[in-house]
Amino acid sequence: MTPDDLPLLSARALTKHYGPRLGCADVTFDLYEGEVLAVVGESGSGKSTLLSLLATELDPTAGSVGYRMRDGVTRNLFTLSEAERRFLLRTDWGFVRQDARDGLRMGVSAGGNVGERLMAVGARHYGKIRDTASDWLGRVEIDPSRIDDMPKSFSGGMRQRLQIARNLVTHPRLVFMDEPTSGLDVSVQARLLDLIRGLVSELGLAVIIVTHDLAVARLLSHRIMVMRQGRVIETGLTDQVLDDPREAYTQLLVSSVLAA
Amino acid sequence: MTQHSVILEGVSKSFTLHLRDGLRIGVVDNVSFAVSPGECVVLGGPSGAGKSSILKMIYGNYRCEAGRILVRDGEDLVDVATAEPRRVLALRASVMGYVSQFLRVIPRVSTLDIVAGAAQSDGVGECEAWSRAERLLTLLNVPERLWSLPPATFSGGEQQRVNIARGLAAERPVLLLDEPTASLDAANRAVVVRLIEEKKAAGAAVIGIFHDEDVRDRVADRIVDVTRFATEKAA
């Protein structure tokens, strides 16, 4: 078997209870390199809990997540040391948050936000860090002359693009995205989606994106998982699930979208 | 005898509408036919007979409830009905092309990039991809002044021709055509016929739906009448 035949990430029977309340239950799937998986569902469906579990921000009640490290060895994320997990998060993973204020350092300049991740992987040469940061600002369509400006002075769409630059600068293999386009104006959303789509295919990223917006799922993802009440109720090729939904709840979701 | 490119065996499809009290609508039952390289099979029958559903099942866009849909990928025969999503995606990336009359517009990507991008999925270089794109857009009478623009603002006919160019830019051993010529004028229909003939000559297995009799008669080697797979309608 070549490495391409092995999953990058494998979730097995992943379950989280918050006391008596269910976060998510029995979630099992494989994600391969270069694959974009959308997790869709309404508020409270467990999709954000699942993302937090995968990113090791929460400990599961039961189940495991295997991750194939850069050395080719698959490890259970929940048995890694804290230092190993932090290293993954800073280098091999990205996490694009719904609210840019949670994903950026608001008191640090745009260039600093991007450069900080580089320094975390050992970059020390100031000039090179600044050049790379400037290059990445350009790639996410932020005028590099704004490199010393604070994210506070940026619009919502720019902040999201800056978050993307900060996350991608270390060439991660896996990026988590939590509703990255919600809360933005429609025209800003379209631009951001297009940018994400281009970068994901250019860099061959694996992405797990949580969204309640089926149009976002259709545009970005290869595969889709529909969650309801903490469980995965339907899964498959994105266009198959959206065009030929099998479950009653998925049919309801798909039929509830207003066609523009 | 040549090896078939696509084989359908006992394929069935119905929709269960849970929002309509579980109403079950039968589409087709026990569909069986096979297509060889270089052959064009046209699906015949009236609107609603299930022709598009059959194409969509072959492409993996609709689920297949029963039977097998075998698509040849080199030495392998892949059963689309049961294959993993990533296997179906791999087929779409290198084996199956699908052209409908509708273009799903992607904001901000230029017409030339859309078509050249499709050509590049073959792994050909940028130059070859661009020259293929330019040739197709020229043949399909998409004015050159539009090439640098995203097709979002184009007329319906222009978008349709961009979509055909995109769908035919890559070399695919299996081509699924869902009324690509609907509402095209005679000149452009003739171009599409010529392009389909080129694909057949290059060894592609073509499965198509064409309401236009003139086009159908010119490209079809065989017509499969879908009404013979009809199921009982809603029980």
In Å, what is the CA distance from B212 to each residue of A149, B40, B140? 61, 15, 18
Q: What is the pLDDT along chain A (260 residues), one digit of tens a residue?
A: 455 689 999 999 999 999 999 999 999 999 999 999 999 998 889 999 999 999 999 999 999 999 999 899 999 999 999 999 988 988 899 999 999 999 999 999 999 999 999 998 888 899 999 999 999 999 999 999 999 999 999 999 999 999 999 999 999 999 999 999 888 888 888 888 888 988 898 899 999 999 999 999 999 999 999 999 999 999 999 999 999 999 999 999 998 876 54
Tokens in use for A29? 């799937």
Q: What is the pLDDT of residues B6-51, one digit of tens each?
A: 999 999 999 999 988 999 999 999 999 999 999 999 999 998 899 9
Please give the Cα distance from B162 to B130 (Å, whole number): 14
What is the C-alpha to C-alpha distance for residues B29 and A150, in angstroms, rounded to an integer?
A: 63
Q: Do A194 and B89 lie within an 8 Å CB cutoff?
A: no
Question: 3-state class of B111 per DSSP?
Answer: helix
Interface test with A, best of B55, B63, B78 (most A CBs within 10 A): B63
- B174-178 and B66-73: which strand pairing? unpaired
Count Cα neighbours of A161 within 13 Å in the Cβ-side half-sphere.
Answer: 24
Q: State phi, psi for A150 to the nearest 5 degrees.
A: -85, 145
Asked whether the beta carbons of residue A222 and residue B60 sit closer than 8 angstroms, the reply is: no
Residues of B in contact with A220 (CB under 8 A): none
List chain A residues with CB under 8 Å of B17: 251
The alpha-carbon gap from B33 to the nearest alpha carbon of chain A, in Å, equals 23
CB atoms within 10 A of CB B117: 18
CA of B59: which chain A residue's CA is closest?
Answer: A240
Residue written as tokens 């099942």?
B57
Per-residue pLDDT for chain B (235 aa), expressed as one digit of tens each?
A: 469 999 999 999 999 999 889 999 999 999 999 999 999 999 999 988 999 999 999 999 999 999 999 999 999 999 999 999 999 999 999 999 999 877 776 777 899 999 999 998 888 888 999 999 999 999 999 999 999 999 988 988 899 999 999 999 999 999 999 999 888 899 999 999 999 999 999 999 999 999 889 999 999 999 999 999 988 654 4
For the residues of chain A, what is the DSSP string, one character each?
A: --GGGS-SEEEEEEEEEETTEEEEEEEEEEE-TT-EEEEE--TTSSHHHHHHHHTTSS--SEEEEEEE-TTS-EEEGGGS-HHHHHHHHHHTEEEE-SSHHHHS-TTS-HHHHHHHHHHHTT---HHHHHHHHHHHHHHTT--GGGTTS-GGGS-HHHHHHHHHHHHHTT--SEEEEESTTTTS-HHHHHHHHHHHHHHHHHHT-EEEEEES-HHHHHHH-SEEEEEETTEEEEEEEHHHHHHS--SHHHHHHHHTSPP-
- ipTM of this predicted structure: 0.90
Cβ within 8 Å, pair B18-A236? no
Half-sphere exposure of A100 (CA within 13 A, CB side): 25
- Decide if B56 touches A, using CB distance below 8 A: yes
Q: Does B18 touch chain A (CB under 8 A)?
A: yes
> How far is it, in rounded angstroms, from Cα A110 to Cα A148?
6
Query: Structural domain boundaries of chain A?
Result: 1-92+174-260, 99-171
**What distance in Å separates residue A95's CA from the closest CA in chain B?**
24
C-alpha to C-alpha distance for A209 and A51, rounded to whole angstroms: 8
Residue B85 distance to chain A (closest CA, Å) = 5
Q: Do A240 and B18 touch (CB under 8 A)?
A: no
> What phi and psi, each to the nearest 5 degrees, are found at residue A210?
-95, 125
B106 and A35 within 8 Å at the Cβ level: the answer is no
Q: Whole-angstrom Cα distance, residue B212 to residue B50?
A: 17
CA angle (A191 as vertex; A185, A194 as ends), nearest 5: 135
As a whole number of angstroms, the distance between CA B86 and CA A202 comes to 18
A1-92+174-260: which CATH topology?
Rossmann fold (3.40.50)
Cβ distance of A251 and B19 shorter than 8 Å: yes
Residues 168-187 of A with CB under 8 A from B: none
The answer to whether B93 contacts chain A (CB < 8 Å) is no
- Write down the H helix ranges in chain B: 51-59, 85-94, 111-120, 126-139, 156-169, 186-201, 213-219
Smallest CA–CA distance from B13 into chain A, residue:
A244
φ and ψ at residue B40, rounded to 5 degrees: -115, 115
Strands B40-44 and B205-209: parallel
